[in-house]
Amino acid sequence: MSQFLLIHGAFHGAWCWHKAIPELEKHGHRAQAIDLPGQGQDQTPLGNVTLDTMVDRIVTALTTLAGPVVLVGHSLAGMVISATAEKAPDRIKTLVFLSAFLPRDGESLLAMEHRNPKAAVPKSMIVDADHISATIMLDKVRELFYHDCTDADVAYASARLRPQALAPLSTPVHVTQERFGRIPRVYIECTDDHALAVEMQRDMIAKSPPVDVRTLHSSHSPFLSMPDKLAAALTDL
């Protein structure tokens, strides 16, 4: 039995894991999801959201959970769980990158996105006038995130998406072999991902070995489209 802490990606919140948590519990695990600052039901002003505030939110959650935790980060959260691992390695049993950004030392998400051969998300973002946050064009949401999901799941998710603070996207993540590097890492690639192309996922894996790899033939959101298969992949760690 493992304790999972599930961290959502950009524009999302803890709500996106609502189908995956009971599937993990069926396997005998404990699982919890949290909102990062400014996302989900959290009311932190987006101008106050930084990479550090995201990391602090996860570290606080880790202190409430028993034993080393399997920390799962989706998409943007790959950056955040990497920085968290550098700050609190003793509290983490395994890092799981679910179709997530996997940084090398000194890389920011935006710098990595420039390597994405199919960088669809930046082209689908509407940045606010103050350049504090961005939203996704409504007509792009299904194709980017949920193209293999049911209409009901697309409606559920689309109604809960929120603007994403931009500051964390340009902040470099600093990791060391002595702290981040000593934690086992698993990457779950999503081969039909339209937001983070599988070519980009595999490029990051190749640049940050050793990484154990699992494969799901899914969109960017297997927690909605195939939560049972996602739970099985996580259990197989």
pLDDT in tens, 67-106: 899 999 999 999 999 999 999 999 999 999 999 999 999 9
Range 32-53 average pLDDT: 98
Strands 69-74 and 92-98: parallel
Q: Please give the span between the terminal C-alpha atoms of the chain, in angstroms, as a whole number.
A: 11
* CB half-sphere exposure, 209, CA atoms < 13 A: 4
Place 116 in a pLDDT band, splitting at 50, 70 and 90: confident
Contacts of 139 (CB under 8 A, 6+ apart): none
Read off the tokens for 20.
């995956």
Range 201-219 average pLDDT: 95
Range 156-170 average pLDDT: 98
Looking at the whole model, is its pTM more than 0.85?
A: yes
Cα-based distances in Å from 35 to 76, 112, 113, 136:
13, 24, 24, 19
Alpha helix (H) residue ranges in the chain: 20-26, 51-63, 77-87, 109-113, 120-123, 141-145, 151-158, 198-207, 222-225, 227-235
| Domain, as residue range, for 140 | 3-235
Distance, in Å, from the CA atom of 194 to the CA atom of 237, rounded to the nearest integer, reads: 25
The pLDDT mean for the chain works out to 97
State the total domains in the chain.
1
Read off the tokens for 12.
């999302």
Q: What is the CATH number of the domain that holds 68?
A: 3.40.50.1820
What pLDDT score was predicted for residue 35?
Answer: 98
